[in-house]
Amino acid sequence: MDPIQILLNGVLAPAVAAGLLFAIGWKAWRKTGDEADGRWIGSLAVAAAFALGFLLMLGTPASFLPDSEHTPTGLDWVLWCSLPCALLAPFLARPGIPFQLLRMVLGAGLVRLVLSSQFESTWVGQAGLNWLAGLTALFLVLWTLLERLASARSGLHGPIVLWLFAAGFAILAGLTGSAKIGQLGGTLAAALGAAVVIAWRKPGFQLAGGAAAMVSLLLFSLGLNAYFYSYTPAIDILLIASAPLFALMPVLLHKHWSVTKKTIASLALSSLPIGIAIGRAVVELLNEVDEYDY
């Protein structure tokens, strides 16, 4: 697929789809005054944009039905998991212990499915349980951080910070071994780019509730693929994963700052670990003596 096709299929089409759905959701929310209306369509917008980009770039994912001659890959599972989660995410984003427990179940299911081959061949017995518990906990931490960022302020802050994470991850994954994962990260960034445009035009727009949950799920599961099935170094994954913490600092520590000031500070701080991770990947690439291309 040439670069123009990748841009059309993996960026433009998902961005338009997400933008339309975000706009519909925002209008519904504004019209009824019920925040929940916007939440439902927010998670659907992110999931639909991701699914569209996936189908246009990579084709139909392998079926998980028992009689299929194909075995779904970790990336196929990201798409399969994203569709039911798009419906569940706004529900699970609610506060309360029962919803927290359901989040945990969702996270464990996601980890188990995306890393099926690891659990079936490498992590047997107690090791499997340890990995499942550890990765589920990491997923819940990421979800909580992104949800906190998305709900901290309305307007550009949430969408643009989330966009930065997705774009940073996409570049890193593309540079460190898998164009496919990079392109899917780019599709997620495109969907969030549409949210940035809407938030810029309509400052009351928010990604909290459903959309941030979907972004957490997609970023986390793509990250699992990049680390466990590709060659993205652990240190770079951790640097990108730490970016939400940096972005939250101005929100938590400088409550008196204006939204614009907080947004700029969040972007600047979270750019540090993302920039270091991408910089490391670029240096690695430039130092590579064994050159090839397709």
Partner 1 sequence: MKTLLIASSLLLAGSLSLATFNSAQAKAPAAAPIVPVVGSFAVDAGHSSVLFKIKHKNTAYSYGRFNEISGTVDFNEADPAKSSVTVKIPTGSVDTNSKKRDEHLLGPDFLDAKQFPELKFTSTEVSKLGDTWRAKGSLDFHGTRKSITIDFEKTGESEGRGGSKVLGFHSQFTIDRTDWGITYGPGALGNDIDVTVSLEVAGQ
List contacts with partner 1 (CB under 8 A).
1-2, 58-59, 62, 69-75, 117, 121, 177-181, 225, 228-231, 288, 290-292, 294
Contact 274, 243 (CB under 8 A): yes
Residue 97 or 291 having the CB closest to partner 1:
291
Residue 64 or 91 having the CB closest to partner 1:
64
CA 101 to chain centre: 21
Residue 165 or 229 having the CB closest to partner 1:
229
Q: Which of 49, 72, 22 is nearest to 218 (CA)?
A: 49
Compute the least distance from the CB of residue 2 to partner 1, in Å.
6
Compute the least distance from the CB of residue 136 to partner 1, in Å.
20
Residue 74 or 209 having the CB closest to partner 1:
74
Q: Strand, helix or coil at 294?
A: coil
d(CA 179, CA 67): 30
Q: Which of 219, 215, 107 is nearest to 158 (CA)?
A: 215
Compute the least distance from the CB of residue 3 to partner 1, in Å.
11
Compute the least distance from the CB of residue 207 to partner 1, in Å.
28
Compute the least distance from the CB of residue 56 to partner 1, in Å.
12
Q: Any idea of the CA torsion for 62, 67, 71, 77, to the nearest 10 degrees?
A: 50
Q: Strand, helix or coil at 177?
A: coil
Residue 78 or 156 having the CB closest to partner 1:
78
Contact 227, 177 (CB under 8 A): no
Residue 22 or 229 having the CB closest to partner 1:
229
d(CA 192, CA 207): 9
Compute the least distance from the CB of residue 277 to partner 1, in Å.
18
Q: Which of 174, 160, 157 is nearest to 281 (CA)?
A: 174
